[in-house]
Chain A
Amino acid sequence: MNKPARGSLLSIEHLEDKEILGLLKLARRMNPLRARPLLRNKRVVLLFYEASTRTRSSFEIAAKSLGAITTLVQSSGSSIEKGESLLDTGYTLRAVGADAIVIRHPAAGAPHLMAKHLDIPVINAGDGMHEHPSQALLDAFTILKHKKAFKGLQVAIIGDIYHSRVTRSNCHLLARFGAKITLCGPPEFVPDVAATLAPGLRVTRHVEEALRGADVIMLLRLQKERLAGQKIRLQDYISRYQMTAARLKLARRDAIVMHPGPIIRGLELTAEVADSPQSKIIDEVHNGVPTRMAILVRALGKAK
């Protein structure tokens, strides 16, 4: 059992302020169309135990833009199906020459386990309900494109907070830099304990209260795959929490709407909101590439 290798990115919670700011600064300098081959001859393994479109493709494009070789390992079609343990899969990938592993896994803490036993950087691309640090960084990157600073920013996060690793990472990051965060949803999705996650968090059941004066609105998908028997009446949820054009008017006029995707139109938001000028949902996806380039350069590059 060791400390994670330098350049690992396991969580936002344990990342220092200056590292977060450093990554955001580096991300601003990254352009996939005009990138220096900082990762030439480096081998990046994308180890995905869960489905992914955005995260997987943007990590892959980020790595390739920087000159790295990538290979994708998924649970189906690999020895994982035959019962190989997570650590043995890690040792195997290290032995074939991986210089870094980007891992997405349905179990919280899986990247931590791998990082404790491998001497190469491990990058968490989403672990269970725990964290999704690269998403929080790209969200921060997106916010800073539209807002001057995090300090004093009113952020409303609406939806299935309990199952959301994105929210956990975002709360750690934004609260750290002085944003005022309101978590909103029914108790099944937003238990009272959620307010203990970071300093200055507030919980409300009323979407109007969360939206009033908000600068940033973050919406979440209802994660049916993690609901584990919870009975949520969709119609009820829609009528109380769906982001509609009318509700959007409660927020500040220059408020931006964000969503880590995938979005379900007609459920957590209307198509009108998704396609409105205030929606930065596609912009987030776009910003995923430079952000993940920065993460990979930090992990494997030869300094800045």
Chain B
Amino acid sequence: MANDKSKVGSLLIKGGHVIDPAAKINAPMDVLLRDGRVAEIALPNKVRGSADEKFDARGLIVAPGFIDLHVHLREPGQSYKETIASGTAAAAAGGFTSVCTMPNTAPVVDTDEWVAWLRHPERAAVVNVFPIAAATRNSRGASLTDFAALQRAGAVAVTDDGKPILDDEIMRAALRLGAELNLPVVQHAEDTRLTESCSMHEGPTSFRLGLRGMSAAAEANVVDRDVTLAQQIRESRLHVAHLSTSDALKAVRRGKRSKARVTCEVTPHHFTLLDEDVGEYNTNFKMNPPLRSATDREAILVALADGTVDAIATDHAPHATHEKQVEFERAAFGITGLETALALAITKLHRGHKIPLTRIVELFTAGPARVFDLRGRGSLARGNFADVTIFDPKKRWTFEAAKSRSLSHNTPFDGWQFTGKVVATIVGGKIVFRAD
């Protein structure tokens, strides 16, 4: 990587329309990248420095590099589903310049060695990888990991994703230790005591299909408890992963109003799909948290627009065909999402629900950068990392799962027609993805 970086020269992105919510820019601007940093940002034709290379961005939006707070790249241990190389290639194709990886691998990422392993150049990542480490040893929920060591090794947060921390004392201890280190604790909010053998959202559709349903309360109760703990523990930071219910949003709002450091993310599939879309047991619509009711989706759309939601995160969860082509109740939870996130945001949120592009860009950039304190990212301010996402908000295209960069093709969006497409992804000043 060090060698690569020295080869990075300078690149002038010319003629584009810059949207950089953190810097309050929404105007035609040229951007000069040099030595892996943003060297200059200026009105059209006003950049003073010269560049080795030029990128013609006429008609395109130039944004800070997108950050995904929630991906499963499956290494170590499950490289038949995805590798860091394939997953980050999919991320680049989806416009993401940074991804935060979940620790529920085999083994669980619960030591500084594994955090370092994830960040090693041999993993061949094409975008920045920020590991999220396990909050408890082996994510068993019994004893905390060494947060300080994990943080020093590069972990940006801790979580037991998929195995929520239900024990009050352990959660309290995690938030306390996180507060000391200014490290966010990420919770997959699900009271698993209420969701045993459940495979979708509880409602008319689950009843009709004869499937056991996860109640909205199983999520909301945990978020409610966590927010209360975050309010009690000074300086603690709670991040609610893939929030999916209206009631959980109420708890997050309560926390935010009280000035507790509570943040949350929402996935593209939860703002797009409903439980009834599962159709006749289509396992590509099975994920956890499950697709919810129309009321929940409506509440999420409102929260995306009004600022309650801090980030859009994909929960990219690749699985092999044999793990999905089985009985619905036995199928693995999760869908891929890196390559469809921006297209869904533009198609559904911007065109469908009139959410301004500036807000959408914020949800992919400044918002997530703030959640995990990713310094020098999420904005194109001078001196920041030269991570840039360039997209065409009007381009119509059809997503084909078979052409995905991911090793897995478990997506509900195969064949969907979208408006809005990534044109180029630049990481550290280097173009890592360019649309044909």
Contact = CB atoms under 8 A, between A and B. Distances in A.
A19 B419 CA distance: 42
Nearest to A168: B210
Nearest to A161: B207
From A105, A117, A127, residue with most partner B Cβ within 10 Å: A127
B203 interface: yes
A100 B222 CA distance: 48
Nearest to B278: A109
Nearest to B325: A87
A193 interface: yes
Interface stretch (A57-65, A128-136, A261-269): A128-136
A107 interface: yes
B330 interface: yes
A94 to B, nearest CB: 16
Interface residues of A, number: 28
Interface string B178-210: 000000000000000000110000111001111
A89 B45 CA distance: 67
B204 A193 contact: yes
B211 interface: yes
Contact of B211 (A87, A113, A129, A194): A129
B322 A85 contact: yes
B117 interface: no
Interface in A188-221: 191, 193-194, 196-197
A110 interface: yes
Nearest to B204: A196
A129 B211 CA distance: 7
Nearest to A113: B327
A26 interface: no
A107 B208 contact: no
Interface of A: 13-14, 85-87, 105, 107-110, 112-113, 117, 127-131, 162, 165, 168, 191, 193-194, 196-197, 228-229
Given A128-B211, A194-B207, 20 more contacts: A13-B208, A14-B280, A85-B322, A85-B325, A87-B325, A107-B328, A108-B210, A108-B211, A108-B327, A109-B209, A109-B280, A109-B328, A109-B329, A127-B210, A128-B329, A129-B210, A196-B208, A197-B204, A197-B207, A197-B208
11 contacts: A86-B326, A87-B326, A108-B210, A108-B329, A109-B329, A112-B281, A128-B210, A130-B211, A193-B203, A197-B208, A228-B196
